[in-house]
Every structure is written in structure tokens, then in C-alpha cells.
Amino acid sequence: MTDFLTLSLADITAKLNAREVSATEVATAALDAAEASQGALNAFTAFDRNKTLAMAKASDERLARGEGGLIEGAPIAVKDLFAVEGVSTTACSHILDGFKPPYESTVTTKLWEAGGVFLGKTNMDEFAMGSSNETSFYGNVINPWRAKDSEAKLTPGGSSGGSATAVAADLCFGATGTDTGGSIRQPAAFTGTVGVKATYGRASRWGAVAFASSLDHPGPFAKTVKDAAMLMQAMSGHDPKESTSLPLDVPDFVAAAAASIKGKKIGVPKEYRMDGMPAEIEALWQRGVEWLKAAGCEIVDVSLPHTKFALPTYYIINPAEASSNLARYDGMRFGLRVDGEDLTDTYEKTRAEGFGHEVQRRILMGTYVLSAGYYDAYYLKALKVRRRILEDFDKVFEECDALLTPSTPSAAFELGSKANDPISMYLNDIFTVTANIAGVPALSVPAGLDSTGLPLGLQVITPALDEETMFSVGAALEDAAAFAHKPGKWW
């Protein structure tokens, strides 16, 4: 691997702008490294070398004219949920076999306009349904990290495991993900990377395969908080094609990442101290509190009383919306088609063969909670509890500027260890789902290692539309933690 692949996004763009290295050199090195890693990490599902090198050449031409964008020339990996024109986009599901969209998603359009270079599509849980990247039709993604004295294959987290692995393994300088209940922040914590989701509506969902539309948040993976701010700034902005897109100007997230946090009030929610939480997670959380105190913050204990209802609420709304969104995959217009004796038989056979078990499980749960006689008892009640969870955040943010919590209840676990226990798997989202339910911004930053040498993350949550505080607090934690660990290269 060429040494410059280990640089941050900010550093590589500085070198590109100084003409110390060309975008074509960087893209070629990234492609070679990503393709060489496939047998071991399985982080990608598709490459298009011609497209990548053409985009890199165009970047070199802009750089030569002094017209480089914010992320000019940097190879960016794209979760296989975002449409990239002419490139296989399957949401890692058999049912979308062969689909190459004739259009580009808004998020990737904005990244390319800012100078990003498409590297490849990253592996993910099928339709983003999973917390371990074990439900992909293209097989498991392997975390580049390993526990001390062990060769066991670990999960990179899900659903955006391929994107997290690509960034952690220095195969790219940033990657897109989506976060429906923690699918950016949990993989970021498991791989020692920074993961961000902004306020709901800050980044457009147009051109991204829908899972649960009121919970889906596009966002970036990056090596540093500043890099994440650069990517989030490039990805964000109003999109008239998307009805929930916020018609607001994008603040200077990059400047915010360098701002002082002295005098900020940081809330520590008591409900996040769960029974049976590992002592290492608790200790890291306390270190985070001390770091923010040392940076001049005031720490306040706060309460989010409806947190205990967050997971059941999420796992009613999430499958309900998924069952509705996934009704369109019927074998008629694109993707897989399994012919049957008549129209109904074709629908049934196509969907039975096209969807994996976890997707089928969620479609069945969602159809059940939306069915006559159960809609009021489950779905409508979940929407009412959702409102209470949002009100908890509104009340807490009247007295503090940000919340500090752990990102995950554990470090990365061994692949297969929870595959047959969906409840245990769903509990991975316990610290992250509330921010999706409320639509508020949240960030995971790597802050330490557990006793086996695996990364652990801390989470910052801020009020809606206050990503600037999120980035500034995240950067302060990053500075204090001084997390410079990398996975030892074995792939």
C-alpha cells in the first residue's frame, strides 16, 4: 500500500492542492489496495476502474487550473444503498441483481461536485437491515481489527460495515453510510473511525434505496472529526427532489470542528447506564466526562425518561416502514424475477427467493403491526411514544448544549456469535436509536481500546440543526483521547 493512503482526508487534499501527488496516482493506489483486500475483508461489491480513473483525471485538470473543490481528488467509497449512475446498486440484496441505475443519488452528486472521486460500492447488510454485516447477499464483511492473540473474524458492525472497514483499513479517504438506528455510529465505534449522522433532512435521501424513510439518515465515515466535517459539509444541502430535505443553508462544519467548547454544558443521561454494561464502557464514559471538564465544559446530570421504550418503539416503526417500502420489489420492472404459474405466484416466488431471512422477518413484523386490528395497538402507540422521546430531548436541550454517551454496549464481537439471536443483535442499537427517533445529530468518535485491544467509541448528541456543537465537542474528545491506533495489517 502506498504510504499516502494512510493520510487523513484533510492532509491528502492539501497534498493534492500543492500538486505533490496527482489525483490519478492516489486513485490508482486506492483501487489497487481495495481490490487486493477483497479476499480478506470483502468490503466492496463493485468497482468501475474506468469511471474512477476518468474522475481522477478530471480532478487533476481542475487542480491544475486552481479550481479544486473541498475534497478534490480524494477517493470516496459509496455504500451500496446510494445510486451511482451506471454502477451496480443492489442494497446487497439478491432481489436487485443486475440493477444499474440511470441516475445519480443527490448525496453522491454533491460529493462529486465537491471533487470527490468514486472508488467503489461498499458491502452492507441487506437493505441496511442488520447490526453486524452478516445479512449481505455478497457475504460477510470482515473487520480489519483483531483482538490480541486471536485470529477470530470480527464484525465491523452494521449495516454500513463495508464503508467502515474501507476507511479503517486505509482503502479510501472517506465513505458514505446510512444511519437508521445506529448503522453509521456503531460500525464507526467497532472500527476506530469517526461516524456522523446530521439532523434528519440535512442530507438528501433522494437516490438512496429506502429502508425506513422517517429514520434513514445519510452520513459519512472518516478518519478524523475534521474529515467527517468536510464530508458532511459536502453531502448536505437542500434538495427540491426530496420532500423531507431541509431548505436551509449549510453551516461551516469544518470551522466548527476547530471551535472552542469552553463554557458548554454537557449532559450525562442517567438512563444510558444500563444493567450489565461492561466496566470498560463505563470507565471510558467517565474519562470522556473528565476530558470535557478539562476543556472547560460544565457537566450536568440529565434524564431522558422514555429511553427505555426506544428499542421497542424503533422495532415497530422500522419494520412497518420497511414493509411498505419493500413492497415495490416484485420482479416486474427491475432486478430478480422468478417466473410462476400466474402473477401472484411470480410475486411470491420472486420475493421468497430475492429477500434474505432478516429482511423477510422485518417485512412480516411490519405487515403485522400495520394490519387491521393491530395498527392502533402497535404502530399508532409507537408513534405516540416517539413523540415523548423527542420531547425528552427538547427538554434536556433547554439546559445543556450536548449529551455524552457511549456509542455501543461492547467492542466488536465475533462473526456468527449473535446470528441466531435477533434480540441480542437488536440490543447493539441501544445507545444509538434514540437520536434517529428524534432526528437529532449524533457523532461517534474513537476514544480508547478495550482489554483485548479493540476500539471503543464515545457518542455526542446535540439539538436539531446544531451540528456545529456536535463537531466541536467531537473534536475536543478526539484531541483529548489522542486515538492514533490502527489495526495491524494482516489482509
List helix spans (H) across 355-409: 357-369, 381-396
**Rounded-to-integer distance, Cα 457 and Cα 447, Å:** 5
Q: What share of the chain is helix, strand, coil (3-state, %, to 5)?
A: 45, 15, 45
Catalytic residue among 22, 37, 59, 79: 79
Catalytic residue among 59, 131, 159, 472: 159
C-alpha grid cell, residue 221 = 465515515
Distance from C-alpha of 171 to C-alpha of 29, rounded to nearest angstrom = 9
8 A C-beta contact, residue 84 and residue 104:
yes
Query: Is 159 annotated as catalytic?
Result: yes
Q: Nearest to residue 79, comparing CAs of 196, 183, 229?
A: 183
Is residue 258 within 8 Å of 470, Cβ to Cβ? no
Residue 380 neighbours by CB distance under 10 Å: 12
At residue 341's C-alpha, the angle toward residues 340 and 342, to 5°, is 90
For residue 9 the three cell numbers come to: 482526508
Phi-psi region of 9 (alpha: psi -120 to 50; beta: other; left: phi over 0): alpha
CB 164, CB 188: distance < 8 Å: yes
Q: Name the residue among 79, 174, 172, 212 with its Cα closest to residue 133.
A: 79
CA 14, chain centre distance (Å): 26
Catalytic residue flag (residue 79): yes
Selecting among 105, 131, 183, 204, the annotated active-site residue is 183
Grid cell at residue 343: 402473477
DSSP summary character for residue 123: P
Cis peptide before 159 (omega within 30 of 0): yes
- Cβ-count burial 60-91 (b if 16+ within 10 Å, e if not): beebeeeebbbbbbbbbbbbbbbbbbebbbbb
- Taking alpha carbons only, the member of 91, 83, 64, 295 closest to residue 206 is 83
**Residues designated catalytic:** 79, 159, 183
